[in-house]
Structure 1
Amino acid sequence: MNPSSHASAATVAGPRQGYVFDNDTTHATEQHRCLAAWLDPVTTARLAGTGVTDGWRCLDIGAGGGSVATWLAERVAPTGEVVATDVKPVRIPARPGLRVLRHDVVRDPLPEETFDLVHSRLVLRHLPERHTALAKMTRALRPGGRLQLDEFDNDYGPVLLAPSRAAGELYERFLAAKERMFADAGADGAWGQRTAAAMREAGLVDIDPVPHVMPWHADSAGVHLLVHHTHHLRDRLVAAGMTDAELAEVRQVMRHPEFRASSCVFYSVQGRRPR
């Protein structure tokens, strides 16, 4: 991968118009903080299970705020390398052993048979060309190399307790509006449950999907993320049918000490390229 050539390609093409989250806005820092607090413990525990260690070459696609890429760089030091990519890699911190590239996984090429480990979290669900990107990730693995995809399934995530029935119904309308918004942008809200089969179809073996569901309350990182989305995604949520008054009210519902909900299902799926 040539950093300069890939930077120019991604800059000309730009991010996909329908993509909901922009890595270069004032909202991105809180978005990444909440995601890391909620999901990094699951992601890094699964990655550790691959045996990733000194000398490995790793690729983190759609690295966002760089928390996972930084964790990997610490594991592969001092002789390994992590390549962290994003269409706008402005939030990924610089550190030894971590190479940051501006790269679009759909439009830009990846080197083949290069990496011991490829990871991507909450990227393919947003891409209509997700199967094309998955095939490209698979080819980037060395024979015997591991791919880990971490993805949501938003078909599940009920409210379990709210201050009132009306409050619970409002929360569910908010989640439904979010799903309409993502669907309009080309996302697949249930991609998590389809990831394992897609990896098998891409030619990977030893597929191991592990679902995770977390209990939520007002102080949960996942709930903080949803509250943040009422600001971050305000315009899109209004277009999807919510009003500003409803967004203000659902914020209060999620901050209520009695609020309890289940997270959506978070699938961490691993597979191996055959030797």
Structure 2
Amino acid sequence: MTTASAPGYAFPPHPAFLGGQHGWLSAAYDPVTLPRLAATGVTRGWRCLEVGTGGGSVARWLAERVAPGGEVLATDLTPPTSPAPPGVVYLTHDIVNDPLPDGEFDLIVARLVLQHLPEREAVLARLARALAPGGWLQVDEFDVSYEPPLLAPDAAAERLYRKFLAAKAAALRAAGAHPEWGREVARAMRAAGLVEIDPRPHVELRTPESASLGLQLHHTHHLRERLLAAGMTEAELERVRALMTDPTFRACSSVLYSVQGRRAG
């Protein structure tokens, strides 16, 4: 998802990579995000905001549930160029600097967005203020501090995968991101005055068939320049790509925290 004012944002909106990025994100994490949103009771007539809509899969799902009478405002620095589906309004919007109305939305969702913003805590506070009384905020974010390989062909392959993970985390930090911020979201929601805060960690097994590992493989291309700057070589990138497609390879995912909080009403 693309919404960041920092000029060094790690995932530039390059057309050669954006489609794959959005597709893998949707395949890997809609199964976590959507049931959590459903648990808020989102229903017809609700007014919703998605920050960093990316490919728009979450906005489309929400629109089906708030119709008739509801609306989904789906914002991004580079929103989808295709026509918006019924009930969805796409808006080019910088969540750090552009206006956001207070007390407006019954439900706000931001998935894998705020960790990329140096102003993440201030943005979360803005989102909390944008909730209507009783409205829900859902923030889904990673903590990549633990995502080890579990089964690799040999010790050298295991070291290579760990080097890739470390280089990716370093690349994100160099761009102003906080790749472990998922563990801090619940605290930030409490500081913003939200109540009924409910953090849910999600961990899965990464295999060559999983969308989660497919996203990692995609990042070896999308983040190529940053990974090279972080110390990987072209030969190492080729080897780690081969490792991720080895049918015997297994790894633990990072933790995805899906955190909900509510504005007192």
How far apart are residue 15 of structure 1 and its match?
Answer: 4.1
Mapped to 2, the partners of 1:199 and 1:93 lie a distance apart of 34
How far apart are residue 30 of structure 1 and its match?
Answer: 0.6
In structure 1, give the amino acid aligned to 2:111: R
The corresponding residue for 1:6 is: none
Deviations 1:119-150 (A, max 9, x none): 00001100000011111101100011000000
The 4+ residue runs of structure 1 with deviation greater than 4 A are: none
Distance 1:138 1:204, change over 3 A: same
How far apart are residue 78 of structure 1 and its match?
Answer: 1.6
Identity in percent? 58
How far apart are residue 244 of structure 1 and its match?
Answer: 0.5
How far apart are residue 232 of structure 1 and its match?
Answer: 1.0
How far apart are residue 68 of structure 1 and its match?
Answer: 0.5
The corresponding residue for 2:17 is: 27
The corresponding residue for 1:274 is: 264
2:123 matches 1:133: yes
Structure 1 residue aligned with 2:33, among 43, 49, 56?
A: 43
Contact 2:62 2:72 in 1 (8 A): yes
Structure 1 residue aligned with 2:168, among 174, 178, 187?
A: 178
2:159 matches 1:169: yes
2:206 matches 1:213: no
Deviations 1:91-118 (A, max 9, x none): 5651111011000110011011010000
Query: In structure 2, the residue corresponding to 1:235 is in which secondary structure?
Result: helix
Distance 1:67 1:91, change over 3 A: farther
Mapped to 2, the partners of 1:266 and 1:108 lie a distance apart of 28
Contact 1:66 1:92 in 2 (8 A): no
The corresponding residue for 2:135 is: 145
**Paired residues, what number?**
263
The corresponding residue for 2:177 is: 187
Mapped to 1, the partners of 2:185 and 2:5 lie a distance apart of 23
How far apart are residue 24 of structure 1 and its match?
Answer: 4.7
Mapped to 1, the partners of 2:86 and 2:11 lie a distance apart of 28
What is the aligned-residue RMSD (CA, Å)? 1.3
Deviations 1:35-65 (A, max 9, x none): 1011001100000000001100000001111
Mapped to 2, the partners of 1:38 and 1:75 lie a distance apart of 22
Mapped to 2, the partners of 1:272 and 1:138 lie a distance apart of 8
Gapped regions of structure 1 (runs ≥ 5): 1-9
2:250 matches 1:249: no
Contact 2:5 2:117 in 1 (8 A): no
In structure 2, give the amino acid aligned to 1:35: L
Contact 2:56 2:80 in 1 (8 A): no
Gapped regions of structure 2 (runs ≥ 5): none
Contact 1:144 1:273 in 2 (8 A): yes
Structure 2 residue aligned with 1:240, among 224, 230, 242?
A: 230
Contact 1:117 1:147 in 2 (8 A): yes
Distance 1:260 1:208, change over 3 A: same
Query: In structure 1, the residue corresponding to 2:232 is in which secondary structure?
Result: coil
Query: In structure 2, the residue corresponding to 1:224 is in which secondary structure?
Result: helix
Deviations 1:155-177 (A, max 9, x none): 01010000111001100000000
In structure 2, give the amino acid aligned to 1:33: G
2:65 matches 1:75: yes
